[in-house]
Amino acid sequence: MKRTLFSALALVLLAAGPAPAAQRPAPQRHAPRDFYADGSPRKPEFALTFDDGPGYITEDLLKLLAKRGVKATFFMIGYSVRAYPQRARDVAAAGNLVGSHTDTHENWYALEKKGKSQAWLKQEFRKELDRAAASIEKAAGVRPRFLRMPNGYCRGWARKEAASMGYTMVNWSYGSDWTRKPEAQMTAEYLKALRPGAILLMHDGGGKNREKTLRIVAAVLDEAQKKGLKPVRLDELLGLQEPSAKR
């Protein structure tokens, strides 16, 4: 459809001869892509993103974000949503963006290594996304449009498949809250990684000792205030809001 319109437009333009410079449409600088790992470095904004939830710190995290007047993005796993539907609902109700982190958190690099066929992978991929979306929609009342794959899996075929299903795939510019690094070092690295366009990855589900993530978020928000950076949802950071949600 788009192509047809474009061809028709091109024909009209050709027939009319070159337009004067002032009348030519400005090139679209931020055409949507199928994959992102950071936002524009020219805007004083960054995004907090949380994977693997909802989990046991989710409610405390929501309180912290609400206290600071901050909206974030939560990439939820289908099975976590089924375990804690109320938490998923609360995340969305507070105005945060809910994305998909697949249904069962399979490691797709490992599946590849097992020698699964491309056809099998594609079929499984669609199943994982559809099941996660159904659970998220049932619990939180929203259909996810953003996808973060477990382990940051981002092969070309998966991006294309996701795009054909209406998803934009998003990784991150920095994250380490799942590693064995000492918390002080972790915090220092998050603060250093805080810059315009940054997409910070943290976790509100999966694993133990997630309380440190709450402390890191508080430290990041303090630092953001000092640096004059505004925390925004990913759809805002990437300029991909639904038309009705644009402000």
From candidates 38, 45, 51, 103, binder to Zn ion by CB under 5 A:
51
Q: Is 45 in the site for Zn ion (CB under 5 A)?
A: no
Question: Does position 205 bind Zn ion by CB under 5 A?
Answer: no
Residue 52, interface with Zn ion (CB under 5 A)? yes
User: Cβ closer to Zn ion: 204 or 235?
Assistant: 204
Taking contact as CB under 5 A, which single stretch among the options 44-52, 124-132, 154-162, 227-235 is the one that binds Zn ion? 44-52
203 is catalytic: yes
Q: Alpha-carbon distance 245 to 236, whole Å?
A: 10
For residue 243, the 8-state DSSP code is G
Name residue 48's beta-bridge partners.
200
- In the set 38, 103, 177, 203, the catalytic residue is 203
Those residues with Cβ within 8 angstroms of residue 89's Cβ, 6 or more apart along the chain or in another chain: 139, 140, 141
- Check if 105 is active-site: no
162: closest CA among 111, 170, 115?
A: 170
Helix, coil or strand: residue 114:
coil
Contact 128, 103 (CB under 8 A): yes
- Smallest distance, Å, CB 77 to Zn ion? 7
By CB under 5 A, what part of segment 117-176 binds Zn ion? 150
Active site residues: 51, 203
